Amino acid sequence: MECRSQTNKPVDWFIVYKIPKLGSHTHPNFKAGTGFYYMDNDSPELTLSDRGLDAKSGALFHTLDQIYSNKTEVGYFMYSDHTPDNRTGADPRGHSKGVLGFEQSGGFWMIHSAPQFPPLRSNGYKWQDKASKNGQTFLCISLDYAIVNRTGTVFRYIFPYIYDVGFPAMFNKDYPVLRLFSVDKGTRQLHVKEPPWCDVIKLPTKGGVCFFSFSKYGKFGNDLYDGFLSKELQQDLLVQSWIEAQKTAGDKLPSNCSIQYKVYNVNTMKFPDKNIEFSTSKDHSKWVVSKDNGNWLCIGDINRQKPQKNRAGGQVCFQNKSAWNSFRKIVKDFAPC
């Protein structure tokens, strides 16, 4: 098991960037809110897909279908702070969304921002209309069997709200922490109990690319981006996150230039190839690029807002010049300090 490409071929990693619903656009997928750009390790530049996310084809479908259609011994976790049946994982659960799938050949971890997605395994695969209105991002990384176990440590920090799980007994010995999460997905006792309340976990892919999970538990009590990530990457950062979640003006965290490595909020995205432009108020995705150099790109699931200082969540980052440049150049403008 691993990440699958648009044509259902194994890939080391891929990124999907879904564009917000653009009702006046002539492209039918953009008009419906299912249009997206795609990149993977073989072609690390954002490229417009010829199909929508509602099609039962493409990278998301082919990757997740390994869970939905596989009749063999397959393990999986689906977690979200906004589940398909509209439950919300409140504090101390993380503001986190993702899917972990694995078998004896290895697995994949998909981190994303889409609410109510994906459906329970028993309901079969379907794109959720709830996620169509706003922009969304998805990152999938392919992991060897032994590395899958490290996601259990990540789970202890992001403390996800697990809404569907399958964990065959054959994995009990090799994945002890994941087993605990599978046995009692409602427990409040599996998160980290003492400092440090944040951690960096190395996740090399099957192909040897080094991804890093930067995660925090709620007791960290600070913004993930200016309180942790910028220091660890030692870079000024441009951060795209969901601002509509900030119900009052006082909840919004402004760009921060008072620290060694500055953190700026992205205001507007522009995709020149299709003359697409939209503001962060229409973009539910959460991603980060290093501002000027370093070639860092991160995809995650937590916002820059005061209430989420006390919420668990994270970002998964890697260095790739082409992928970084592809995201950096769509940042039309950002908020100064």
- The number of folded domains in the chain is 1
Give the pLDDT confidence score for residue 3 in this predicted structure: 99
Count each helix (H run) and each strand (E run) in the chain, helices first. Answer: 8, 19
With helix as H, strand as E and coil as C, how does 27-70 read? CHHHHHCCCEEEEECCEEEEEECCCCCCCCCCHHHHHHHHHHCC
Give the pLDDT confidence score for residue 10 in this predicted structure: 98
Total residue length of the chain: 337
- At residue 101, what is the residue type? G
Angle between helix axes 176-183 and 150-158 (nearest 10 degrees) is: 50
Give the pLDDT confidence score for residue 92 in this predicted structure: 73
Residue 112 bears catalytic tag: no
Q: Which domain holds residue 111?
A: 3-334
pLDDT block averages, 10 residues each, the chain of length 337: 98 98 89 97 96 95 94 90 81 90 97 97 93 97 98 96 95 95 74 96 98 98 98 98 68 94 97 89 97 97 94 98 98 97
CB 282 within 8 A of CB 64: no
- What per-residue string of b and e applies to 171-197 under the rule 16 or more CB within 10 Å gives b? beeebebbbbbbeebeeeebbbeeeeb
Give the pLDDT confidence score for residue 88 in this predicted structure: 73
Give the pLDDT confidence score for residue 296 in this predicted structure: 99
Give the pLDDT confidence score for residue 265 in this predicted structure: 97
Nearest CA to 161 among 312, 13, 43, 274? 312
Q: Dihedral, CA atoms, 307, 258, 266, 79, nearest 10 degrees?
A: -40
Catalytic residue among 95, 112, 191, 284: 284
Give the pLDDT confidence score for residue 243 in this predicted structure: 77
The DSSP secondary structure of 139-162, one letter per residue, reads EEEEE-HHHHTHHHHHHHHH---E
Give the pLDDT confidence score for residue 187 in this predicted structure: 57
CA 135, CA 34: separation in Å to the nearest integer?
9
pTM given for the model: 0.96
Give the pLDDT confidence score for residue 89 in this predicted structure: 65
CA 298, CA 141: separation in Å to the nearest integer?
12
